[in-house]
Chains A and B, each alone.
Chain A
Amino acid sequence: MLSQFFFTLREHQVPVTIPEYLTLLEALKGDVIGPNIDEFYLLARSALVKDETHFDKFDRAFAAFYRGVEAATGPSHEIPLEWLRKQAELNLSAEEKALIESLGGWDELMKRFRERLEEQKERHEGGKKWIGTAGKSPFGAYGFNPEGIRIGQQESRNRSAVKVWDAREFRNLDGDVQLGTRNLKVALRRLRRFAREGAASELDLDSTIDHTARNAGLLDLQLRPERHNAVKVLLLLDIGGSMDEHSRLCSELFSAARAEFRHLEFFYFHNCVYDHVWNDNRRRHGARTATWDLMHRFNADYRLIFVGDATMSPFEILRPGGSLEYMNEDAGADWLQRLTDVYQRSIWLNPTPEENWGYHYTIGVIRDLMGGRMFPLTLDGLERGMRALARKGPLL
């Protein structure tokens, strides 16, 4: 039965391994816990999951497994439907109740709700439909909406039916969702390339022994510089217009990048790169750098990272004169081509959620121009991006 549990976890993409599973079995044999499902849940989580970003997946997997066990062993716990109904009726206005009736009454609603719950498990995000608005909906209870009704804390007869894992309190920690400066730094660290340069401050033992021996046994200390991250990064940021809504995310990325890379050069552009980039976002036309100069000044060692939503009119990329700001002689696509030719290690980070990319034609265009090296600005996307930056040429 437990191996079934193990495979349920794997199906839900919790990264568990066989040694960890064996550890769990060992712990069960070692009588660490009593015969109690809650303790088993905690022990299993402690032994199998090593990262709080996976806690939510684990909770969902556990819930699925537990439901399977319940189905096999008979209905020990029901979902506290009565309670839900009571609670919801307390909070709903007459109109809303009428609406619920029009949807087919409570039982129908609950059935639909369960369906949606299953559906939600697959996609995990995007459950903002009519479920879970401001905690008035009964569905809030299931943790669709953090502000919703919390069944678990209610003193209900049926309390035992709602388990810790159903509360899904670690949802916010799921890796695909949140990005903070700290997480970003972690992702950017993948791009480290160490080299020794700068002031010599570390004792080089081998060389000291060597020189001491040559010096007829008289001590001759040799120092060498410490290792530093020597990777060079050229960051081009899309600013203004449709990027405004992503400004917070971009500023976090920016501050993380500044802390991580000693050789970081950054410039701004609007929508697409043309003849010039701006040195300073506020003084757009005052301090400009010609893109040709950019390519000459920073050699091909630099890794090029574009940050932009790539959402614009196709003309802005494909036609000369398509720029919103001035008359450009060469099309944006040509400039992108030139840049990616010089900087073989380049990626485009897009703050637009990946599932929405299909709705914007130009995202596809730029993605093709970048040789498929476009990644969403999420932790996961950033990690994929950093891996892609380590290699040259188009993505397979």
Chain B
Amino acid sequence: MSPRFTGSKTYVATDDLRLSVNAAITLGRPLLIKGEPGTGKTRLAEEVARGLGMPLLEWHIKSTTKAQQGLYEYDAVSRLRDSQLGDPKVHDIANYIVPGMLWQAFESDTPVVLLIDEIDKADIEFPNDLLRELDRMEFYVYETRQLIRAKQRPLVFITSNNEKDLPDAFLRRCFFHYIRFPDKETMEQIVEVHYPGIKKALLREALEAFFAVREVPGLKKKPSTSELLDWLKLLLAEDIPPEALRTDDRKSIIPPLHGALLKNEQDVHLFERLVFMSRRS
């Protein structure tokens, strides 16, 4: 029986998310996670690693990242330099092969959790270059003619912000989960996990205000869970009373410290204009 992930004290996992994670664990397939920014995609891998007691290897992808860097890199420049200096190390090419994250994950004696974070940041061909590696969990090092094969299938989590389409061949090999924006009850649980014992009244008012801001039409970036948590932290730090958030007509108030919720100046302008208009009418 493979280990099961059940959420943790610091992370609220909905039923559907748990099921996807466990299916991916059982079958040893990579799990691709998408969702609005700030809904806890990256946190998931950390929490699963902690929950199952496995080490976590993180590979953060940038626009310049190449698939090869996850396997290994051949440091040609230092070998050239060593050859100039007459260093005896230069005769063995293996001295200049630097293992990447995937290699480390494959070599590990205990199963590890491997997080490939924001895969969509890389070039459009990037996922295709990892097909065989993620499918068969092995790759070939041409320089030393050695085959690196996973001793234990690592648990691979891949997050994407949807900036680029991922190729079908890549998708076929993954399980997929789309983290939806939490509903009110889930959100209360999430807040409870982060700020245990927060005053019920404040939380209720804050959530009302938060969802009202999310409802504002035409926002470029809707505030997400992580913004809500930041905002609550500020509210707690400033000791804002729940009354300050309450109003009969929710449209006619700008919530205090709204800068934590709206991060785009156009959004702030739009929001203030709407509030101003509804006050006048």
Contacts and interface: CB of A to CB of B under 8 A. Distances in A.
Interface of A: 15, 17, 19-20, 23, 26-27, 30-33, 39, 42-43, 45-47, 49-52, 55, 169-170, 182, 185-186, 189, 192, 203, 205, 208-209, 212, 217-219, 221
Interface in B167-182: 168, 171-178, 180
Interface in B6-60: 15-16, 19-20, 22-23, 26-27, 29, 32, 34
12 contacts: A23-B29, A42-B16, A46-B16, A47-B175, A51-B171, A185-B163, A186-B163, A192-B124, A203-B77, A209-B76, A218-B84, A219-B81
B80 A55 contact: no
A218 B76 CA distance: 14
A32 B19 contact: yes
Residue among B22, B165, B171, B178 with the most chain A CB within 10 A?
A: B178
A266 B48 CA distance: 49
B164 interface: yes
B27 A26 contact: yes
Contacts of B16: 42, 46
Contacts of B175: 23, 46-47
Contact of A46 (B23, B124, B162, B166): B23
Closest A-B pairs by Cβ, 9 of them: A50-B171, A52-B178, A46-B20, A50-B176, A32-B23, A42-B16, A30-B26, A42-B19, A46-B175
A185 B32 CA distance: 21
Given A52-B34, A186-B163, A205-B76, A43 B172 contact: no
Given A43-B19, A50-B32, 14 more contacts: A32-B23, A43-B20, A43-B23, A46-B19, A47-B175, A47-B176, A50-B172, A50-B176, A169-B180, A186-B162, A192-B124, A208-B76, A209-B76, A219-B81
A153 B173 CA distance: 35
Contact of A189 (B19, B164, B171, B173): B164
A316 B83 CA distance: 74
Interface of B: 15-16, 19-20, 22-23, 26-27, 29, 32, 34, 76-77, 80-81, 83-84, 124, 162-166, 168, 171-178, 180
Contact of A212 (B15, B27, B80, B174): B80
Contacts of A19: 172-173
A262 to B, nearest CB: 15
Interface residues of A, dominant DSSP: helix
B20 A219 contact: no
Contacts of B77: 203, 221
Contacts of A33: 19, 23
B181 to A, nearest CB: 11
B26 A46 contact: no
Contacts of B162: 182, 186
Contacts of B173: 19
A7 to B, nearest CB: 18
A85 B32 CA distance: 42
A189 B27 contact: no
A46 B176 contact: yes
A182 B27 contact: no
Nearest to A164: B16
B217 to A, nearest CB: 12
Contacts of A51: 171, 176
B172 A27 contact: no
Given A30-B26, A42-B16, A42-B19, A15 B80 contact: no
B183 to A, nearest CB: 9
Nearest to A221: B77
A31 B32 CA distance: 21
Given A15-B168, A51-B171, A32 B176 contact: no
A186 B80 contact: no
Nearest to B163: A182
B161 to A, nearest CB: 8
Residue among B23, B163, B165 with the most chain A CB within 10 A?
A: B23
Contacts of A17: 172
Contacts of A219: 80-81, 84
A119 B279 CA distance: 44
Nearest to B161: A182
A45 B178 CA distance: 10
Contact of B178 (A23, A55, A221): A55
B224 to A, nearest CB: 15
A46 B33 CA distance: 10
Contacts of A221: 77
Residue among A43, A170, A208, A217 with the most chain B CB within 10 A?
A: A43
A32 B2 CA distance: 10
B15 A208 contact: no
A189 B165 CA distance: 10
Contact of B26 (A32, A185, A218): A32
A321 B34 CA distance: 54
A46 B17 CA distance: 9
A47 B21 CA distance: 11
Contact of A30 (B27, B83, B177): B27
Nearest to A55: B178
A30 B174 CA distance: 16
B124 A189 contact: yes
B162 to A, nearest CB: 7
A42 B20 contact: yes
